[in-house]
C-alpha cells in the first residue's frame, strides 16, 4: 500500500492572508508527484504543514491515516525526508563529507559506509569538493550536497521543495534521473513552480490555485 496524504475540510491562513480553504483531496505518494503553483501560492507552506513545522490549520491533514497534529516531528522524519529551500537550510556540517556523515549515521550513530558517501557525492560531481568548506561552494554545489543526502535515504518518502534551484543543466538531468529511480520504489512529492522541468517525469500533477489544490493530471 502506498503512502497517502489526505486533506479533509482543510483550511489554513496567516493573520494577513488566507492560503487554503475547505480542501478535500487525497494525494497518493506512489511514483512521482508534482505540486506546482506560482510563487507565493503556498507551496513551501504546504511542505511545512506536512512536516508539522507549521501549525494552526483547521480540519484534517493526515499522513497514512494519522493526523499530522498528533504525530511528533521525529516520527515524521523517520518516514519522510524533506529538502528545504534555500539549500543552506539543509546543510548540517562544515564540509560536504561531514554533512553526509551526519545523514549516513542517522544523526548520532558512528556507523556509516564511506563508499556510500563517496558514491552519493560523486553522483552530483562533488567528490573532489568533499573537504571544501560549504560556504565556499556555489549555490548549485550546495544544492548538490543537499540532494546527495537523498541517496542515503532511499527508504523514505521524498518531499522536495524546489529541488532544481541553482542547478546547471547537467545536474538537473541527474536529479530527474534520480527522482525517476526513487519513484519506482518509494513516493516522491516535488514542490516547484518549474512545471516545465518536472511535468514529463510526473505521474500526477497538482496545482495550487485560488486557495485550492487541483489535480491537473
Q: What is the pLDDT of residues 59-84, one digit of tens each?
A: 999 999 999 988 888 888 889 999 99
Same domain assignment for residues 179 and 203: yes
Same domain assignment for residues 136 and 205: no
- Report the relative pairing of strands 80-83 and 66-67 from DSSP bridges: unpaired
CATH of residue 15's domain is 3.40.50.300
Going by C-alpha positions, the residue among 14, 92, 6 that lies closest to residue 50 is 6
69 lies in some domain: yes
What are the start-end ranges of the H helices in 70-185? Answer: 73-77, 96-104, 114-123, 139-148, 169-183
Planar angle of CA 104, 108, 69, nearest 5 degrees: 90
Same domain assignment for residues 105 and 166: no
Q: How many structural domains is the chain composed of? A: 2
84 lies in some domain: no
* pLDDT at res. 88: 86
The pLDDT of 2-12, averaged and rounded, is 92
Alpha carbon 9 to its chain centroid, in Å, reads 24
Q: Are 116 and 104 spatial neighbours (Cβ–Cβ below 8 Å)? A: yes
Q: Phi, psi at residue 98, to the nearest 5°?
A: -65, -35
- Mean pLDDT, the chain, whole residue set: 91
The pLDDT of 169-189, averaged and rounded, is 94
Tell me the whole-structure pTM to 2 decimals. Answer: 0.91
134 lies in some domain: yes
The pLDDT of 14-31, averaged and rounded, is 92
Domain around 94: 90-155
Amino acid at each position: 500500500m502506498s503512502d497517502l496524504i489526505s486533506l479533509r475540510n482543510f483550511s489554513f491562513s496567516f493573520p494577513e492572508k488566507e492560503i487554503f480553504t475547505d480542501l478535500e483531496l487525497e494525494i497518493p505518494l506512489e511514483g512521482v508527484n508534482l505540486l506546482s503553483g506560482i510563487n507565493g501560492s503556498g507551496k513551501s507552506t504546504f511542505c511545512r504543514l506536512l512536516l508539522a513545522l507549521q501549525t494552526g490549520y483547521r480540519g484534517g491533514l493526515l499522513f497514512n491515516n494519522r493526523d499530522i497534529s498528533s504525530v511528533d516531528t521525529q516520527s515524521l522524519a523517520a518516514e519522510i525526508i524533506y529538502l528545504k529551500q534555500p539549500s543552506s537550510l539543509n546543510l548540517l556540517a562544515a564540509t560536504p563529507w561531514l554533512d553526509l556523515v551526519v545523514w549516513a549515521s542517522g544523526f548520532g550513530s558512528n556507523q556509516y559506509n564511506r563508499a556510500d558517501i563517496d558514491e552519493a557525492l560523486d553522483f552530483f560531481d562533488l567528490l573532489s569538493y568533499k573537504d571544501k568548506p560549504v560556504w565556499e561552494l556555489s549555490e548549485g554545489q550546495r544544492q548538490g550536497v543537499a540532494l546527495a543526502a537523498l541517496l542515503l535515504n532511499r527508504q523514505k518518502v521524498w518531499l522536495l521543495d524546489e529541488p532544481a534551484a541553482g542547478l546547471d543543466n547537467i545536474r538537473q538531468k541527474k536529479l530527474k534521473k534520480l527522482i525517476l529511480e526513487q519513484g519506482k520504489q518509494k513516493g516522491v512529492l516535488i514542490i516547484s513552480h518549474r512545471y516545465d522541468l518536472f511535468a514529463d517525469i510526473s505521474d500526477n500533477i497538482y496545482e495550487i490555485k485560488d486557495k485550492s489544490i487541483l489535480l491537473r493530471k
